[in-house]
Amino acid sequence: MLITINLNGKKIVDDVSADTLLIDFVRAHGCKSVKRGCETANCGLCTVFMDEKPILSCSMLAARASGHSVTTLEGLQDEAAEFGAFIADQGAEQCGFCNPGFIMNALALFREKEYPTEEEIKEYLAGNLCRCTGYEGQLRGILAFLAWKKQKEEGKA
């Protein structure tokens, strides 16, 4: 089946089988940040944006994404690098396996709520799996990023 997906700003036309998952499609097209974790839509490692909304690519057929825009971490490098540094500063990326999905979901949160509360952050990111840390480092990193962002906007950073 022939599908067309705008992947990270580039039009991709490909012939895929009807059962091809979106995760396999994006990885086949060089987006290695999208990872397989649980394959049950429970860990957040496969998060991508489809039409600017976060989705789990392990539970969507590539054919359903045809005609849509799909963005992976590779397509958000500048935005991700700025935020990712705060996660790294807190030592919250011990093995780094969960980082792409975690960063994608955090960026989605920031787009939805410019300055979320700590409780909103915890709730929004509850579906992300990290086997190395207790999520406290990620939470500290997010809070530090938000504080820095606010200072920057006020002209103090």
For the chain, list the domains and their CATH numbers: 2-72 (3.10.20.30), 75-153 (1.10.150.120)
CB distance 24 to 30 below 8 Å: no
Segment 69-93 shows an average pLDDT of: 87
Output the pLDDT for position 123.
87
Range scoring the smallest mean pLDDT among 60-64, 88-92, 110-114, 133-137: 133-137
Q: Please provide the DSSP assignment of the chain as one string.
A: -EEEEEETTEEEEEE--TT-BHHHHHHHTT-TTS--S-SSS-S-TTEEEETTEEEEGGGSBGGGGTTSEEE-GGGGHHHHHHHHHHHHHTT--SS-SSHHHHHHHHHHHHHH-SS--HHHHHHHTTT---SSS-SHHHHHHHHHHHHHHHHHHTT--
CB distance 85 to 19 below 8 Å: no
Output the pLDDT for position 145.
93
Using one digit for the tens of pLDDT, what is the confidence trace for 56-72? 999 999 999 999 999 99
Average pLDDT, the chain: 89
Residue 126 has pLDDT above 90, yes or no: no
pLDDT more than 90, % of the chain: 59
Cα angle value 32/124/38 (rounded, 5°): 45
Residue 150 has pLDDT above 70, yes or no: yes
Output the pLDDT for position 99.
81
Distances (CA, A) of 131 to 2, 10, 91, 99, 128: 38, 34, 14, 11, 10
Tell me the pTM: 0.88
In the structure, what pLDDT confidence band is assigned to residue 108 with cuts at 50, 70 and 90? very high
